[in-house]
Amino acid sequence: MGERAYNFGAGPAMMPDAVIERVAREWQDFRGEGYSAMELGHRSEHFADILARAKADLRALLDVPESHHILFLHGGATPHFAMVPLNLAQPGESADYIHTGYWSDKAMAEASALVNVRIAASAADSEFDRVPDRAGWQLDPAAAYVHICSNETIGGVEYDGDPDTGNVPLVADMSSNILSRPIDVARYGLIYAGAQKNIGPAGLAIVIVRDDLLERVRAGVPSVMKYARHVEWDSMYNTPAAFAIWVAGLVFEHVRKAGGVTEMARISVEKAQKIYAAIDASSLYINRIQPASRSRMNVPFFLREPRLEQRFLDGARRRGLLNLKGHRATGGMRASLYNAMPLAGAQALADYMTEFERKNG
């Protein structure tokens, strides 16, 4: 392996070195069995042990109560934009959505064919520069659920806690900040997250769902889209993503050893502060998100002079600071600071930003 780069990509994202090394060791000879980790059979005793441990470790990491099931499903986060309304709402019912940017928008657009989507709060008027204040949400007590995106990966907007929605089940897309802080899982009816940021290989999704909601599934939903079916089959209704689940389990074990989500939260704040401090001290870089809603996971920023962008990216690349180009929908730059990004990586980027401005500002 060449020198390890700091990969600031938004996902598939940087993975912990210890996990990469472990996968490399077992890639060809899984647990001394003489077959590759990619050949790991889901009916093997090894996999039964892997799945049980992965679930137990995730339960311990997020303190998931017994009322909630943990699922490992295929297809990333996107299927849940439709599966949530199909499983939690009857046709004609309404659901409340909090509109905070690109990903909550996608969830709403997909759901709108399946449920009556009500926008209970939106930051569209202020160009998605914040999470709308909870006090101003116009929630409908009769809604089937309330949907939030806890971290807008593209906009760089993050909730600072778990909102209270009373008796209406709270559903959260936590794709880009799961495992980065303690959460009160009991507040949520359902959590879903694509794995490719803080958990493991793309294509895998984690779902945490409260047991009593499983019976709400509407008639006619295909089995593979029913959460209840996946619970019944313990995530093995069809062939599970065995390799990806193994890697996810290694990440959970790694995060536990590294101090759990409380420690991840502490380091996340420290990493993000370094980049925001570099931006705030500068007259070249701009981030327009309200301070209280700034994401610790994804820091988007723009160069006041767009002609410098390519030079910025080229210089970063020469230093092993990779994938800083912003999402195609927004342009600019974006530094993703998921759990596996070391503090030294955030420091190296902050130093580079300051030096680049000195030379080019």
Which residues lie near ligand PLP (CB under 6 A)?
11, 76-78, 103, 149, 153, 173, 175-176, 194
Nearer to ligand PLP (CB atom), residue 129 or residue 173: 173
> Catalytic: which of 103, 246, 271, 274?
103
77 annotated to a ligand binding site: yes
Q: How far is the CB of 171 from ligand PLP (least distance, A)?
A: 12
User: Smallest distance, Å, CB 288 to ligand PLP?
Assistant: 19
- Check whether 173 is labelled as a binding-site residue: yes
242 belongs to an annotated ligand binding site: no
The residues pairing with 157 across neighbouring beta strands, listed in sequence order, are: 152, 294
**What is the number of the residue whose Cβ is closest to ligand PLP?**
76
173 is catalytic: yes
CA R_g for the chain? 21
Half-sphere exposure of 329 (CA within 13 A, CB side): 7
In angstroms, give the least distance from the CB of 322 to ligand PLP. Answer: 17
354 is in an annotated binding site: no
Considering the complex, state which of residue 76 and residue 85 has its C-beta at the smaller distance from ligand PLP: 76
Decide the pairing of beta strands 170-173 and 68-74. Answer: unpaired
Assess contact for 167 and 189: CB atoms under 8 A: no
Cβ 287 to ligand PLP shortest distance, Å: 18
- Nearest-angstrom CA–CA distance, 157 and 153: 7
Question: Measured between alpha carbons, how far is 126 from 310 in angstroms, rounded to an integer?
Answer: 29
Give yes or no for a contact between 47 and 242, defined as CB atoms under 8 angstroms apart. yes
- Which residue in 55, 197, 271, 325 is the catalytic one? 197
User: Which position among 57, 96, 105, 173 bears the catalytic label?
Assistant: 173
Smallest distance, ligand PLP to C-beta of residue 336, A = 10
Length of the chain: 361
Reading the block at residue 339, the tokens are 């759990």
196 appears as a binding residue in the annotation? yes
Whether cis (ω within 30° of 0) applies to the bond prior to 12 is yes
Active-site residue, 246 included: no
Is 100 known to sit in a ligand binding site?
Answer: no
Closest separation in Å from C-beta 14 to ligand PLP: 14
Tell me how far apart the alpha carbons of residues 211 and 70 are, in angstroms, rounded to a whole number: 10
Residue 42: CB atoms within 10 A of its CB come to: 17
Nearer to ligand PLP, 175 or 339 (CB): 175
For ligand PLP, which is the closer residue by CB, 9 or 182? 9
* DSSP secondary structure letter of residue 197: T
Q: Which helix (H) or strand (E) holds 334?
A: strand 333-336
**Alpha-carbon separation of residue 31 from 175, 256, 257 (angstroms):** 30, 22, 21
Which is closer to ligand PLP, CB of 139 or CB of 202? 202
Confirm whether residue 165 is marked as ligand binding. no
Q: By C-beta, is 11 or 189 nearer to ligand PLP?
A: 11
Q: How far is CA 116 from CA 82, 213, 219, in A?
A: 13, 19, 17
Could you confirm whether 197 is annotated as catalytic?
yes
DSSP letters spanning 34-93: SS-GGG--TTSHHHHHHHHHHHHHHHHHHT--TTEEEEEEES-STHHHHHHHHHH--TT-
Binding site per annotation, positions for pyridoxal 5'-phosphate: 77-78, 103, 153, 173, 196, 238-239
Binding site per annotation, positions: 43, 77-78, 103, 153, 173, 196, 238-239
User: Active-site positions?
Assistant: 103, 173, 197
Binding site per annotation, positions for L-glutamate: 43
